[in-house]
C-alpha cells in the first residue's frame, strides 16, 4: 500500500524558508502570491494486513519519528 | 588586473576571499553588491562561499536570480574573463546554468568541516596552471551539500573535455559523483569547486596549497594584458 | 483587582504584586503586569543572585570594560568583548530550535556592543547518552548549533560536552561568543537625548516564546509535566547574518546613539533598560511594530521573544540614514517611538495608553537574600576500590568514556574555519585565533567539572577557574578575563542555594588570585528534574592573549626523543574522578587538592617554557588524569611515549 | 486560490535523506516499510483571474525557481 504523509508547520510557528521564497517570488514579478510555506512530503510503501492497521502504524511512525510534535503537525493518506 | 567579490545576502566567505586577494596575492579587489550590473572593468569575479538567502529552497536557487547574475553570464562569455565559484558560489553557478550538474546533500547527511586531500586532474586551466598534474593538495571543505551529481551524458562530456579539474583523493567526503570536487566549463574560464582555497593560502592556517590557485589566475591574467 | 492565580502564573509573588500596586497607585493593566513579571524574573532582573554577583572582581591585569550587556577588556588598540548565556530550558523542550536561538541570542549581545563576532564556543551537558531520549536531545542540540552557527558565518571553535545522569531531563546549553572592535567604537545600550527616535529593526514580531522569559525560568519540569510549552522561539540564521552586517554598517553612520538586542523579554527589556541606562524616559507605539501574526494583544507584543530583532536610539531627523541600511539588507526598520524627558516608559497602541510605568522602578528588580543551609553537603571519604587487574584494558575503557572520548564527530559538523582566523583548531585545550594585521593573537576556552562542584562547591568552582586558565596557558596565552554561566537548581531550596553561594565565592576568590576580572555572565536557576537538582555547574569562559601568535603551542607530541616533563605534583587522590565514576560508578570523595600558589607557579613555568621555545607541546591534566593526558598527546601526535612513575 | 506543489526527486536520483529515514524506521522495528522518499511540499495562495491562468503561472514559477530540472520533477494542484 502507498502512503503519503504531509508534515507541516504548526500555526504561528515561524517558517523562515517560506518567508524567503515568498520574497523571491515577489521580486521575480509574481505580485499576486502570498502565504508561501515550504513543508515536508513523505512517500513510502507499507505491505501487510489491512488499511486500518496500516493507518495505525503510520500514525505511530509519525508521532515517534517523522514529525516533531512541538513545531509540526501531520496528515496522511493510505492508498490500497 | 582587477578582482571582484560578489556579496549576496547570506554570503559569509566574502571577507575571507577579499582579504586573501588584497593581502596575500596583493592584487586590487573590490566587493560587488548583488544588484551591480557593470562588470566590464573587472578581470576575475569570485562568487564566495556562505549561505546566500539562507540556502533556503535549494543552495543558490534564489541567488541565481540576483541582478548581478545576468551581467555575470555576459561577462563569462568573454574567454579572457575569469569566474570562480567557491562552495556556495559553485552551487549558484550550477543553478544559473553556467556550469552543468547540481550539488546535493552530503551522503552522511551532515555538514562537514575539515581538511581533505584533493588531486589536480587538469593543470591546463587558468585556475590550475601553477600545479603539477596529479599533485595532491590539502585544502579544507565546509559544506552540507557538496554531493555533485549530473546525468551520464554530462559526466562523459566532462571527462572527454577534461573539465574535471579537482577530485577528492583517496576518500570522498560527500558521495560526489566520480569524486568530483571542482569542474570548469568547456571554455575553461569558469571554475566551480566545493573546497575553500582561500582557507589554505597562509601557513598560519595550516596549509598554503590553495594559494597556487590564486597565483594561477594572476599569471593567466598577466599574460592576457 | 487581579487574582493571585494570574500573577502567580506569571511568576510574581504576592509581595511583588503589592509592590507593583504601590508603584502605580492602581491596578496594573495586563501589559503592565506582564512587563513587571519579565523584568523582575530571574532571567532579567537576577533578584535572587544579584547580591552574590557583586562578589566578582571587576579589575584585572588588562583594562576592563563592563557594559550593559556584554563586557570585555582592552589589548593594544582593540576592545575584546565576550559573554556566555544559557538556553537550557528551551533546549529541553525543542533541542534544535532551543540551541539555535541560544547561538543567535549570544551573538546579538556581541554585535549590539558594536563588535564583529569572531568566534563561538558551546558548553553542553546531557544525561546518559545511551538512553534514546537523551540521545534525541543531544542530536537536536548539535543540529541546532551547526544549523545556526554555520549559516551566520561565526566559527564555532571550541567548548566541551559532559554526560551525567544528573542532567537527564534538564540539559545545559551554554553558548559563548567573542567579538572585537576598535576600542573607541564600542556602542552602549542607552537611550539618550530627549526627542531622539527609537527604531525597531530586524524580523517581524510573532508569538514566539511568549512568557518564555519568566514562566520558563521560574518553573522546573516535573515528571510528565511537559505542558509548560509556550510557542517555541524559532531562529532564522539568514536574517541574523543580514542583521549583523546591517547593524555594524548602521553604526558606521555615526547617528546611532544607543542600541540593544531584543533577547529575553523582547521589547519590554530592551526599551526599559535602554531608558534606565540613559536615565531618560521612552514612549513607544505598538501600532507601529511590524507584526507577523494577526490579533496580537499588547502584552503579547511586549513579551514576545521573536528572534533577530534590535532596538536603536537614533538622532532625530537622521532616521532614514539608518533605516536605509536595514532596508538594503532586506530587513524591517521603522520608527516606533522616541525618547521623553519624564523617566517613564509609556506604551501606546495607537491612541490607547496600555502601559505607563516609572523606569527606575521597573528596571529595579527586587533583591532577595535567599536562605541557605548545608544539608546538601557531601560526606568526605569515598569507598575504597581495588587496583585494576589489567591497566591496559582499563585505559582503553577510560578512553571510551563519553566524557573523555574525542568530540571530533561533533565539532567537524561546525564550520570552525570561516573568517580565516583559526590558527589552532578544535580538539586541543583551547582554540587560538590570529588577529589579521596584528602580531598578537587570542586563545579561548570554556570549562567546568560539575561533579567536583557537587562534592565541594567552593573547591569545585576554584578548580573550574584554574583549569580554564591552564587550558589557555598551555597554548602560550596569558589569561586575561572571565565570563561565566552559573547553572544551578531551585534557589528557593536552601541546599541548592548553598551550592550557588559557595560556587560564586569559589569563582570570586580564584579570579582574585589569578587577577582575572569577571566582565560578564549569566545565571540560570531552576535546573532540576524529577530526581532533584542538576550538578552545580558554574561554567567558566576565559579569553587569553598570545603576544606573538606564531609562538602558539599545541597538544600533540612532536619528535622522537623529546623529553616528557610533568609540572606540578601528582597526588594520590581519586575523589570525584572520572575513573571512579565511569569504571566503578562511584561519585564520592573530596575533589583534587588545589594550592592556588602552586598552580600559579606551575602556569608561570609552563608559560615561560613555551615563550622561550623549550616546549614543543603542552597539555593540561584534567578528566582521566596523567594516563589520559599522555594518551591524548600520543594519539594526536601519532607518537608513542615511555614514562616511569617512580619520582 | 490555494495551490499545492509537490517537488520530488527525478527517478534514478539518489535521495540520501529518504535512505536515512528508512534505516531509522527499520531500526525502530517497522520491518514492513520500504521506498521511503522525503520530498518538498509547497503551499501558497494565488489570487485573481481564472484557474487556467493560475495553473499557467504556477508552472512558470516551478520551472523558473521552485524546482531544479536536473534533479527534480514537480506536479501541482490548484483548488478553486
Quick check: is A2 in a domain? Answer: no
Among B44, B121, B196, B218, the active-site one is: B196
Establish if B65 touches chain C: CB-CB under 8 angstroms: no
> Structural domain tally of chain D?
2
- For chain C, the chains sharing at least 3 beta-carbon pairs closer than 8 angstroms are A, B
Is residue B87 part of the annotated active site? The answer reads: yes
> Structural domain tally of chain B?
1
Residue B138's pLDDT band (boundaries 50, 70, 90)? very high
**What is the model's pLDDT at position A48?**
76
A56 alpha carbon, distance to own chain's centre: 18
| Closest Cα in chain A, distance from residue C309 (Å) | 14
- C514-562, pLDDT tens digit by residue? 999 999 999 999 999 999 999 999 999 999 999 999 999 999 999 999 9
Do A49 and A68 have their domain in common?
Answer: yes
> Length of chain A in residues, anyone?
80
The grid cell for C357 is 510605568
| Closest Cα in chain C, distance from residue B123 (Å) | 26
Would you call D42 and A45 a contact, using CB atoms and an 8 Å cutoff? no
Strands (E), C385-468: 422-424, 431-434, 441-447
CB-closest option in B53, B57, B65 to A28:
B65
- For chain D, the chains sharing at least 3 beta-carbon pairs closer than 8 angstroms are A, B
Among B95, B121, B198, B218, the active-site one is: B198
Do D54 and D77 have their domain in common?
Answer: yes
Residue C295's pLDDT band (boundaries 50, 70, 90)? confident
Tell me the DSSP string of C215-266: HHHT----TT-----PPPP---HHHHHHHHHHHHHHHTTS-EEEEEE--TTH
Establish if A26 touches chain D: CB-CB under 8 angstroms: no
The tally of CA atoms less than 13 A away on the side-chain side of residue C369 is 0
114-153 in chain B: CB under 8 A from chain D: 147, 149-151
* Domain assignment of residue A54, given as a range: 43-80
Q: What percent of chain C has pLDDT over 90?
A: 81
Do A47 and A78 have their domain in common?
Answer: yes
Would you call B95 and D66 a contact, using CB atoms and an 8 Å cutoff? no
Would you call A47 and D39 a contact, using CB atoms and an 8 Å cutoff? no
Contacts of B54 in chain A (CB under 8 A): 16-17, 20
Do D33 and D64 have their domain in common?
Answer: no
Quick check: is A4 in a domain? Answer: no
C93 alpha carbon, distance to own chain's centre: 19
Average pLDDT over residues C359-386: 86
In angstroms, the CA B125 to CA B132 distance is 12
Residue C231's pLDDT band (boundaries 50, 70, 90)? low
CB-closest option in C151, C153, C436 to B19:
C436
**What is the model's pLDDT at position C220?**
54
pLDDT at C218 exceeding the cut of 70: no
Weakest-pLDDT range from B80-89, B151-160, B193-202, C569-578: C569-578
Nearest residue of chain B to residue D68 (CA atoms): B95
Phi, psi of B204 (to 5 degrees): -60, -20
Residue C308, burial from CB neighbour count under 10 angstroms (0-12, 13-18, 19+): buried
Please report, for the domain that includes residue B176, its CATH number: 3.40.50.880
Do D29 and D61 have their domain in common?
Answer: no
Mutate to test the interface with A, among B8, B55, B58, B62 (most CBs of A within 10 A): B62
422-461 in chain C: CB under 8 A from chain B: 422-423, 425, 434, 436-437
Tell me the DSSP string of B51-76: -GGGG-SSTTTTGGGSHHHHHHHHHH
Would you call D21 and A64 a contact, using CB atoms and an 8 Å cutoff? no
Residue C364's pLDDT band (boundaries 50, 70, 90)? confident
Nearest residue of chain B to residue C437 (CA atoms): B23
Do A51 and A31 have their domain in common?
Answer: no
Average pLDDT over residues B186-212: 98
Which is more confidently placed, C378 or C151?
Answer: C151
Quick check: is A26 in a domain? Answer: yes
- B7-43, pLDDT tens digit by residue? 999 999 999 999 999 999 999 999 999 999 999 999 9
Residue B125's pLDDT band (boundaries 50, 70, 90)? very high
What are the angstrom distances between the C-alpha of C125 and each of A26, C169, C533, C628? 44, 11, 13, 21
Among B87, B94, B150, B184, the active-site one is: B87
Would you call A68 and C94 a contact, using CB atoms and an 8 Å cutoff? yes
* Domain assignment of residue B135, given as a range: 3-224
Do A27 and A59 have their domain in common?
Answer: no
Contacts of C93 in chain A (CB under 8 A): 70
Do A32 and A47 have their domain in common?
Answer: no
Is residue B198 part of the annotated active site? The answer reads: yes
For A4-35, letters b (16+ CB in 10 Å) and e give bbbbbbeeebbbbbbbbbbebbeeeebeebee
pLDDT per residue of chain D (80 residues) written in tens, 0 to 9: 999 999 999 988 888 889 889 998 998 899 999 999 999 999 999 987 799 999 999 999 999 999 999 999 999 999 97
Nearest residue of chain A to residue B56 (CA atoms): A17
Do D60 and D77 have their domain in common?
Answer: yes
Phi, psi of C480 (to 5 degrees): -120, -40
Do A30 and A49 have their domain in common?
Answer: no
CB-closest option in A12, A20, A68 to C238:
A20
In angstroms, the CA B222 to CA C6 distance is 75
**What is the model's pLDDT at position C545?**
98
Nearest residue of chain D to residue B174 (CA atoms): D16
Contacts of C293 in chain A (CB under 8 A): 12
Residue partners of C351: CB distance under 8 A and separation at least 6: none
Q: What percent of chain B has pLDDT over 70?
A: 100
Which is more confidently placed, B66 or C10?
Answer: B66
Residue C363's pLDDT band (boundaries 50, 70, 90)? confident
pLDDT at C227 exceeding the cut of 80: no
Q: What is the mean pLDDT of chain C?
A: 92
**What is the model's pLDDT at position C216?**
34
Mutate to test the interface with B, among C244, C249, C331, C415 (most CBs of B within 10 A): C415
Contacts of B65 in chain D (CB under 8 A): 65
Indicate the pTM of the whole model: 0.94
| Closest Cα in chain D, distance from residue B194 (Å) | 19
C109: three-class secondary structure by DSSP: helix
Contacts of A63 in chain C (CB under 8 A): none
Do D26 and D48 have their domain in common?
Answer: no
156-215 in chain B: CB under 8 A from chain D: 175
Would you call A21 and B62 a contact, using CB atoms and an 8 Å cutoff? yes
Q: State whether the Cα torsion C325-C330-C334-C339 is positive or negative.
A: negative
Residue C213's pLDDT band (boundaries 50, 70, 90)? very low
Q: State whether the Cα torsion B7-B12-B15-B21 is positive or negative.
A: negative
What are the angstrom distances between the C-alpha of C350 and each of C285, C287, C289, C440? 6, 5, 11, 54
Among C43, C89, C416, C619, the active-site one is: C43
Weakest-pLDDT range from A65-79, C234-248, C333-347, C613-627: A65-79
- C433-458, pLDDT tens digit by residue? 999 999 999 999 999 999 999 999 99
| Closest Cα in chain D, distance from residue B59 (Å) | 11
Residue partners of C573: CB distance under 8 A and separation at least 6: C589, C590, C592, C593
- C407-431, pLDDT tens digit by residue? 999 999 999 999 999 999 999 999 9
Query: Which of B135, D46, C336, B24 is closest to A33 using CA atoms?
Result: D46
Quick check: is D31 in a domain? Answer: yes
- C8-28, pLDDT tens digit by residue? 888 889 999 999 999 999 999
Would you call D35 and A43 a contact, using CB atoms and an 8 Å cutoff? yes
Quick check: is A32 in a domain? Answer: yes
Residue C570's pLDDT band (boundaries 50, 70, 90)? confident
Residue whose C-alpha cell reads 502605580 in the numeric block: C24
Establish if B10 touches chain D: CB-CB under 8 angstroms: no
Establish if A25 touches chain D: CB-CB under 8 angstroms: yes
Average pLDDT over residues B89-96: 96
CB-closest option in B10, B50, B110 to C413:
B110
Would you call C293 and A12 a contact, using CB atoms and an 8 Å cutoff? yes
pLDDT at C591 exceeding the cut of 70: yes
Weakest-pLDDT range from A16-20, B11-15, C221-225, C419-423: C221-225
Contacts of C437 in chain B (CB under 8 A): 23
**What is the model's pLDDT at position C212?**
42
**What is the model's pLDDT at position C219?**
45
Quick check: is D1 in a domain? Answer: no
Is residue B196 part of the annotated active site? The answer reads: yes
pLDDT at C229 exceeding the cut of 60: no
Do D50 and D63 have their domain in common?
Answer: yes
- Residues C190, C310: contact at Cβ < 8 Å? no
**What is the model's pLDDT at position C233?**
81
Contacts of D22 in chain B (CB under 8 A): none
Would you call B142 and C417 a contact, using CB atoms and an 8 Å cutoff? yes
Quick check: is D6 in a domain? Answer: no
Would you call C241 and B10 a contact, using CB atoms and an 8 Å cutoff? yes
In angstroms, the CA C106 to CA C534 distance is 23
pLDDT at A18 exceeding the cut of 80: yes
**What is the model's pLDDT at position C226?**
41
Tell me the DSSP string of C121-149: EEEEEES-TTSHHHHHHHHHHHHHHHHHH
Quick check: is A62 in a domain? Answer: yes
pLDDT at B200 exceeding the cut of 60: yes
Amino acid at each position: 500500500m502507498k502512503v503519503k504523509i504531509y508534515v507541516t508547520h504548526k500555526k504561528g510557528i515561524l517558517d523562515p524558508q517560506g518567508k524567503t521564497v515568498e520574497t523571491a517570488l515577489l521580486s521575480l514579478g509574481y505580485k499576486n502570491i502570498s502565504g508561501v510555506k515550504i513543508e515536508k512530503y513523505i512517500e513510502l510503501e507499507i505491505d501487510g494486513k489491512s488499511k486500518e492497521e496500516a493507518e495505525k502504524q503510520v500514525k505511530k511512525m509519525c508521532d515517534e519519528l517523522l514529525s516533531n510534535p512541538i513545531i509540526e503537525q501531520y496528515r496522511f493518506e493510505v492508498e490500497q | 588586473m582587477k578582482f571582484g567579490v560578489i556579496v549576496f545576502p547570506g554570503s559569509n566567505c566574502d571577507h575571507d576571499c577579499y582579504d586573501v586577494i588584497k593581502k596575500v596575492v596583493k592584487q586590487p579587489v573590490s566587493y560587488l553588491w548583488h544588484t551591480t550590473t557593470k562588470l566590464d572593468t573587472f578581470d576575475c569575479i569570485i562568487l564566495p562561499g556562505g549561505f546566500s538567502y539562507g540556502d533556503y529552497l535549494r543552495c543558490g536557487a534564489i541567488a541565481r536570480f540576483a541582478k548581478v547574475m545576468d551581467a555575470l553570464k555576459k561577462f563569462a562569455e568573454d574567454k579572457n574573463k575569469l569566474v570562480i565559484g567557491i562552495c556556495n558560489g559553485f552551487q549558484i553557478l550550477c543553478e544559473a546554468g553556467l556550469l552543468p550538474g547540481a550539488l546535493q546533500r552530503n551522503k552522511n547527511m551532515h555538514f562537514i568541516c575539515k581538511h581533505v586531500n584533493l588531486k589536480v586532474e587538469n593543470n591546463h586551466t587558468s585556475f590550475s596552471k601553477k600545479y603539477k598534474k596529479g599533485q595532491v593538495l590539502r585544502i579544507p571543505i565546509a559544506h552540507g551539500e557538496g554531493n555533485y551529481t549530473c546525468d551520464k551524458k554530462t559526466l562523459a562530456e566532462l571527462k572527454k573535455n577534461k573539465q574535471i579539474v579537482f577530485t577528492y583523493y583517496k576518500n570522498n567526503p560527500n558521495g560526489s559523483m566520480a569524486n568530483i570536487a571542482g569542474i570548469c566549463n568547456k571554455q575553461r574560464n569558469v571554475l566551480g569547486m566545493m573546497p575553500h582555497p582561500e582557507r589554505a593560502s597562509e601557513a598560519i592556517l595550516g596549509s598554503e596549497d590553495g594559494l597556487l590557485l590564486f597565483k594561477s589566475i594572476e599569471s593567466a591574467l598577466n599574460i592576457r594584458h | 483587582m487581579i487574582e493571585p492565580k494570574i500573577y502567580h502564573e506569571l511568576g510574581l509573588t504576592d509581595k511583588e504584586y503589592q509592590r507593583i500596586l504601590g508603584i502605580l497607585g492602581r491596578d496594573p493593566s495586563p501589559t503592565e503586569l506582564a512587563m513587571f513579571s519579565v523584568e523582575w524574573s530571574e532571567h532579567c532582573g537576577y533578584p535572587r543572585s544579584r547580591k552574590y554577583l557583586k562578589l566578582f572582581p571587576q579589575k584585572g591585569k588588562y583594562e576592563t570594560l563592563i557594559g550593559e550587556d556584554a563586557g570585555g577588556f582592552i589589548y593594544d588598540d582593540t576592545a575584546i568583548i565576550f559573554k556566555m548565556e544559557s538556553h537550557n530550558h528551551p533546549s529541553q523542550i525543542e533541542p534544535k530550535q532551543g540551541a539555535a536561538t541560544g547561538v543567535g541570542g549570544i551573538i546579538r549581545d556581541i554585535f549590539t556592543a558594536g563588535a564583529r563576532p569572531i568566534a563561538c564556543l558551546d558548553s553542553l551537558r546531557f544525561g546518559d547518552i545511551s538512553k534514546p531520549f537523551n540521545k534525541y536531545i543531544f542530536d537536536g542540540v548539535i543540529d541546532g548549533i551547526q544549523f545556526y552557527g554555520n549559516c551566520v558565518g561565526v566559527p564555532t571553535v571550541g567548548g566541551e560536552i559532559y554526560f551525567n545522569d544528573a542532567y537527564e531531563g534538564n540539559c545545559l546549553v551554554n553558548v559563548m561568543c567573542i567579538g572585537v572592535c576598535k576600542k573607541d567604537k564600542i556602542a552602549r545600550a542607552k537611550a539618550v537625548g530627549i526627542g531622539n527616535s527609537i527604531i525597531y529593526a530586524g524580523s517581524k514580531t510573532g508569538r514566539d516564546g511568549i512568557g518564555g522569559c519568566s514562566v520558563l525560568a521560574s518553573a522546573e519540569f516535573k515528571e510528565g509535566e511537559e505542558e509548560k510549552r509556550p510557542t517555541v522561539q524559532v531562529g532564522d540564521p539568514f536574517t541574523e547574518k543580514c542583521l549583523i552586517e546591517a547593524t555594524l554598517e548602521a553604526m558606521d553612520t555615526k547617528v546611532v546613539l544607543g542600541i540593544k538586542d531584543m533577547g529575553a523579554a523582547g521589547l519590554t527589556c530592551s526599551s526599559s533598560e535602554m531608558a534606565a541606562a540613559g536615565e531618560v524616559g521612552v514612549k513607544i507605539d505598538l501600532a507601529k511594530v511590524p507584526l507577523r501574526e494577526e490579533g496580537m494583544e499588547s502584552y503579547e507584543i511586549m513579551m514576545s521573544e521573536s528572534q533577530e530583532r534590535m532596538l536603536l536610539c537614533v538622532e532625530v531627523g537622521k532616521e532614514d540614514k539608518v533605516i536605509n541600511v536595514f532596508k538594503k539588507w532586506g530587513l524591517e526598520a521603522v520608527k516606533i517611538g522616541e525618547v521623553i524627558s519624564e523617566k517613564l516608559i509609556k506604551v501606546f497602541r495607537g491612541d490607547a495608553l496600555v502601559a505607563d510605568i516609572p523606569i527606575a522602578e521597573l528596571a529595579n528588580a527586587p533583591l532577595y537574600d535567599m536562605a541557605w543551609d548545608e544539608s546538601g553537603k557531601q560526606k568526605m571519604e569515598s569507598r575504597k576500590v581495588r587496583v585494576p587487574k589489567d591497566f591496559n584494558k582499563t585505559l582503553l575503557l577510560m578512553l571510551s568514556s563519553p566524557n573523555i572520548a574525542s568530540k571530533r564527530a561533533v565539532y567537524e559538523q561546525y564550520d570552525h574555519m570561516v573568517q580565516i582566523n583559526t590558527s589552532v583548531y578544535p580538539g586541543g585545550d583551547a582554540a587560538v585565533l590570529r588577529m589579521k594585521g596584528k602580531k598578537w593573537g587570542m586563545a579561548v576556552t570554556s570549562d567546568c567539572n560539575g561533579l567536583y562542584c557537587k562534592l565541594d562547591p567552593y573547591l569545585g568552582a576554584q578548580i573550574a577557574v584554574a583549569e580554564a586558565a591552564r587550558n589557555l596557558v598551555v597554548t602560550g596565552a596569558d589569561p586575561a578575563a572571565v565570563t561565566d554561566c552559573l547553572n544551578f537548581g531551585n534557589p528557593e531550596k536552601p541546599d541548592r542555594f548553598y551550592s550557588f553561594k559557595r560556587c560564586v565565592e569559589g569563582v570570586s576568590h580564584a579570579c582574585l588570585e589569578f587577577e582575572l576580572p569577571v566582565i560578564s555572565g549569566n545565571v540560570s536557576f531552576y535546573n532540576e528534574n524529577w530526581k532533584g537538582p542538576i550538578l552545580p555547574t558554574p561554567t567558566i569562559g576565559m579569553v587569553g592573549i598570545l603576544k606573538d601568535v606564531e609562538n602558539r603551542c599545541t597538544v600533540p607530541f612532536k619528535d622522537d626523543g623529546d623529553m616528557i616533563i610533568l609540572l606540578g605534583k601528582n597526588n594520590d587522590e581519586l575523589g570525584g574522578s572520572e575513573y571512579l565514576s565511569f569504571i566503578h560508578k562511584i561519585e564520592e570523595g573530596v575533589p583534587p587538592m588545589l594550592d592556588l600558589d602552586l598552580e600559579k607557579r606551575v602556569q608561570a613555568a609552563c608559560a615561560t617554557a613555551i615563550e622561550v621555545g623549550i616546549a614543543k607541546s603542552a597539555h593540561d591534566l584534567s578528566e582521566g588524569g596523567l594516563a589520559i593526558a599522555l594518551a591524548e598527546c600520543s594519539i594526536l601526535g601519532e607518537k608513542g611515549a615511555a614514562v616511569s612513575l617512580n619520582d
